[in-house]
Amino acid sequence: MAHKVYLSRRNIQSLLNKLDRVKSGDFSNVTLIKCDNLHAKYPQTMEACRVTGVEKDEDPPLPQNDTQIHLTRKDLNGLLTDLVGPKPGTVLVLGDVAVCPLEDAEYYDSRAPGQVFHADDPGLKK
């Protein structure tokens, strides 16, 4: 695998909230743009990457590459589960990219999280 991108619990929950809004009829591109290649402990290996949530698996599968990753609701829920499972921080490999989940406290230990559209705020859903 050539690239790594790190998603905080906040990132994962924001994507799930975006999927929920679309399911209820609201508009969202269900995408985060990750460009955190300067993080002291967890720098992603690409300059920027779009991470898009999709409701279900596609046939054929959606393309995965170092600039665009598609995560299904199942993938996103699995990443959340992996954060508290027997092996926390399990990596999800999609194509040539490893998606690494991290707890907020670990990822944001030296910085504040970015702003999120109020309806996608992870604090709205526990």
Phi, psi of 102 (to 5 degrees): -140, 145
Is 126 domain-assigned?
no
Is 39 domain-assigned?
yes
pLDDT tens sequence across 79-124: 998 888 666 667 888 888 999 999 998 888 877 777 666 667 776 5
The pair of structure tokens assigned to 34 is: 């990750």
Domain total of the chain: 1
Mean pLDDT of 1-6: 86
The span from the CA of 10 to the CA of 60, in Å, is: 29
The pair of structure tokens assigned to 58 is: 């596609």
Range of the domain at 83: 3-111
What is the residue whose two structure tokens read 């690494």? 100
Is 21 domain-assigned?
yes
